[in-house]
Copies of this chain bind each other. A is one copy, B any other.
Amino acid sequence: MNSSNSILREEELGNWRKSHYSSEINPSLEGRTVILMGWISSIRDHGNIQFIMLRDKDGDTQIIAKKGQCPDLVYEQVLQLKEHTSLGVSGKVISQRKAPNGIEIIPLELKVFSIPIQAPPFMVQSRNPAGIDTRLDFRAIDLRRKYLQDIFIIRNNILKYIRTFLSNEKFIEVNTPKIIATASEGGTALFPIFYYEREAFLAQSPQIYKEQLTMAFEKVFEIGPIFRAEPSRTNRHLSEATSIDIESAFVDYNDIMVLLEKMIQFIIKSLSEDDNIKNSPELDIDKKINDNNKSFPRLKYSELTEKLRNIGEKVRWGDDLSPQLIKKLDDDRLNNNFYFITDWPTAAKPFYVKENQDDSKICESFDLMYGSLEISSGSTRISNKEILIDRMKKKGLNLNSFDYHLRIFSYGVPPHAGCGVGLERFLMTLTKIDNIRDAILYPRDIDRLAP
């Protein structure tokens, strides 16, 4: 081992086990001997007193080693400890009003599991310790930062609330294949795979599968990875993202908008009531709590393009609405708020989106926006086989390669509607993250494939 000449050496876990997490220790345990384990987040040397912060998943515990008060060997060991060491401490709890959880620990015995070979390339105490690329190269260390820990605990809880909400709404959770034969969203931005002797692709969405599943289960959702080979280098695109896909029979796009509204309101309410999260400085929902009972504004695509033309922007009906354009609107209802853009041009949406009955140029579709960030897209879907085939032809799709999907439409596909929500983008709206790469543990983009 690397420190074999010192009185510190790496030891096996052996029979040691944690007796408590940091969050479980408080002054009521005064005098008890406990075993804590974690990593050293800081060390302060006050002459004959050494303060060590031992961090575990719940937070810090202060270890206080006074010369003469703790065993001599332990004091000597403490003097040699370094930050990031993986450490077990058996020690006595004493009250200390100023320390985390109102206690500190007098160490009686140490067990050093893993001694850092070198110092990490940045300090985990900082809010912005290094550029994103350096941080990502050492992501596991980067994730020891309180800032990111909060983000991923919030993310974990958002997923919990979504599952609770959708389960209460009678949806069942499904998993559909990520290796697929053909593009579900139209053909571009696909990652090709060698699948045994054939070509296959990574799924851009579970679209085809979730639609089919409404035939059997009526209401389904999936939370899983989606893959987009987009050569973008923005702060809002990932090559591999997490999608919350929702699909329901016997409803239309208006119902899905109401469902999404309810879901987001439920999530914000739950976050604001969760004792472990509500005080996190990373959470950014104060204003949203106040707005929580209002429904989100709904603006028609035509309305928006007209407004844009009125303020001098060159937008033709049918054009896409870029974030840059939307920022130009400077509308109080839209800045830092959730809202829907509805009734998009049919030509702008994928083949499975249902046209408006009275005007086939527009379709029953929406984007859920937050400021200029698109969070979700949804629509009523086409359930009639002839109409679907007709639309696919218009989009120039190869019908043969969709045979496995089209054949199902001969057997009574119900009216259905649904949406997909980008989890990382949604997480950005509820926290103070400004780069989507910090909303996912190990981001993938055109430049980054590791770690």
Contact = CB atoms under 8 A, between A and B. Distances in A.
Contacts of A451: 208-209, 212, 404-405, 408
B413 A114 contact: yes
Interface string A244-264: 000001111001000000000
B414 A114 contact: yes
A415 B159 CA distance: 28
B404 A181 contact: no
Interface residues of A, number: 107
A410 to B, nearest CB: 4
A450 B404 contact: yes
Interface string A193-224: 11110101010000011001101111100001
A18 interface: yes
Contacts of A143: 213, 215-217
Interface in A344-380: 357
Interface string A433-451: 0000000111010100111
A67 interface: no
Copies of the chain in the assembly:
2
B415 A217 contact: no
B383 A114 contact: yes
A225 B175 contact: yes
Contacts of A148: 216
Contacts of A200: 449
17 contacts: A1-B386, A13-B251, A13-B252, A39-B412, A114-B383, A116-B410, A137-B404, A137-B407, A148-B216, A149-B216, A163-B163, A177-B442, A178-B178, A179-B191, A180-B449, A193-B194, A208-B451
Given A113-B414, A117-B410, A179 B240 contact: yes
A172 interface: yes
A65 B1 CA distance: 83
A85 B413 CA distance: 8
Interface string A215-239: 1111100001101010100000001
Contact of A441 (B167, B209, B441): B209
A156 interface: yes
A20 to B, nearest CB: 12
Contacts of A444: 177, 179
A252 B451 CA distance: 25
Given A1-B384, A21-B170, 13 more contacts: A13-B415, A38-B218, A39-B412, A86-B413, A117-B385, A141-B215, A149-B216, A153-B172, A156-B173, A179-B444, A195-B449, A200-B449, A209-B442
A227 B196 CA distance: 12
Nearest to A140: B212
* 10 tightest A-B CB contacts, nearest first: A143-B216, A140-B212, A57-B218, A404-B451, A86-B414, A404-B450, A117-B410, A13-B415, A84-B412, A181-B450
A215 to B, nearest CB: 5
Interface string A1-34: 1100000001011000110010000000000000
Contacts of A176: 441-442
B449 A181 contact: yes
A290 interface: no
A40 B411 CA distance: 11
Given A163-B163, A198-B449, A212-B451, A152 B174 contact: yes
Contacts of A240: 177-179
